[in-house]
Amino acid sequence: MTTVRLLLAIVASQSWPLYQMDVKNAFLHGDLKEDVYMRIPQGVTSPSKKSVCHLCRSLYGLKQAPRAWFKTFRDRLGTIDFTQSPYDPSLFLSHASTGFTVLLVYVDDVIITGTDDAMIKSLQASLRDSFHMKDLGPLHYFLGLEPIHDVSSPPSSDSREANYPEKELLRKKQQEIEEAECARRSKVVVTFDLVGRKDNSAQRFHLEHELSQFTQGTLSIQEYYSQFICLWTDYTEIIYSSLPDASIAVVQTIHSTSQRDQFLIKLRPDFEQICSNLMSRVPSPSIDSCFRELPREECLTTQAALQQALSTGPLIMAYVACSHQHNRDITKVRCYSCQKYGHVATQCNHKYCSYCKRKGHVLSECRHRAQTYS
């Protein structure tokens, strides 16, 4: 990459022409020096079942293919007075009385520049006679670099790095998010429908817990908030569509003072506590491991605030704030540990962990669960 950037800088400063060519099926042009045999492919008639093919040229998949192709290409350039650079094997130069030509190759991508247009055209014609070449014209993209051609501005070495790996990862991640979004929306609708149909409170609680885990999980704070808002929109549409007009005002009141309004203010308040709780582990956890533990604890905290409220219509699920918000009617807050109203699980005197099935603590305080995730 150093050679590529240096060459582009020189070309820009000297205003040299810059062209790009592509070798079609580059590895098929390599001449093999070793004896390599292969079975006769299907569809080819052979005089005997014991007959095999003796390869004269390389094929894709052979370990010798890249080396054989480069040797063939280098030997061909040697016949037209090109010299390989001792500092970079992929750089070739040719000097003449009228000027010089520079060629840089990377597998099957070739860029050509120089001071003499006639020598450049002669080189391009010679390459087309020897290999199956595709003329791509002026260089626009090479190894993640996108040179900017601006004849109106003074010469400069400016180039825009496209950062191909990150773009590919971003494109792939965006595609996965779109696919997951469709699945998430369908699951949200199904889960809310099941919650509304269940008569048993324990079954309703497990469905609510599953929904909370699914929409939060171990996402980052930004992804969590984004999906939180999307889930809230879906939930609002489902609830409003199944309620009479008299109940919508009640739901809107709950929504206006809900967990969503407090979410960005809280962000990461439990880091210090989680970090101190993890210090009992051996070996001592790193800061990264503490941050990885945070989304799980946030999930449990929000799940503790996920309660249900009843109105004149069918079953309503709503997010209600924790008891430390003094302007909240505490009688509507329900403990998911003992299923009683008036407090949350962290303040419950009858704490019960649904993970280890023991009394005395809740799920967010369970040491057995922390050891499992470590």
Mean pLDDT, rounded, of the chain? 65
- Total domains present in the chain: 3
Asked whether residue 187 is assigned to any structural domain, the reply reads no
Give yes or no: residues 288 and 340 share one domain.
no
pTM greater than 0.75:
no
Give yes or no: residues 236 and 361 share one domain.
no
Is the pLDDT at 37 greater than 70, yes or no? yes
Q: Give the C-alpha separation, 337 to 364, whole Å.
A: 12
Residues of the chain above pLDDT 90, percent? 0
Q: Give the C-alpha separation, 228 to 299, whole Å.
A: 11
Does residue 9 or residue 131 have the better pLDDT? 131
Asked whether residue 344 is assigned to any structural domain, the reply reads yes
Per-residue pLDDT at 178: 61
pLDDT tens digits, 238-271: 555 555 666 666 555 555 545 444 443 344 445 5
Give yes or no: residues 6 and 113 share one domain.
yes
E strands along 121-250, which residues?
133-138, 145-147, 159-161
Residue 191 pLDDT grade (very low, low, confident, very high; cuts 50, 70, 90): very low
Per-residue pLDDT at 323: 32
Give yes or no: residues 344 and 223 share one domain.
no
Does residue 74 or residue 309 have the better pLDDT? 74
Phi-psi region of 61 (alpha: psi -120 to 50; beta: other; left: phi over 0): left
Give the chain's length. 374
Give yes or no: residues 255 and 351 share one domain.
no
Give yes or no: residues 225 and 305 share one domain.
yes
Residue 232 pLDDT grade (very low, low, confident, very high; cuts 50, 70, 90): low
User: What are the CA-CA distances from residue 296 to residues 106, 221, 357, 368 (Å)?
Assistant: 47, 11, 19, 14
- How much is the average pLDDT of 158-177? 58
Give yes or no: residues 6 and 101 share one domain.
yes
Domain ranges, residue 19: 1-138
CATH number, domain at 340?
4.10.60
Domain end among 101, 118, 138:
138
pLDDT tens digits, 320-352: 333 333 344 445 566 666 777 766 665 667 777
E strands along 18-148, which residues?
18-23, 31-39, 52-57, 83-84, 91-96, 99-106, 109-114, 133-138, 145-147
pLDDT tens digits, 98-129: 888 888 888 888 888 888 888 888 888 888 88
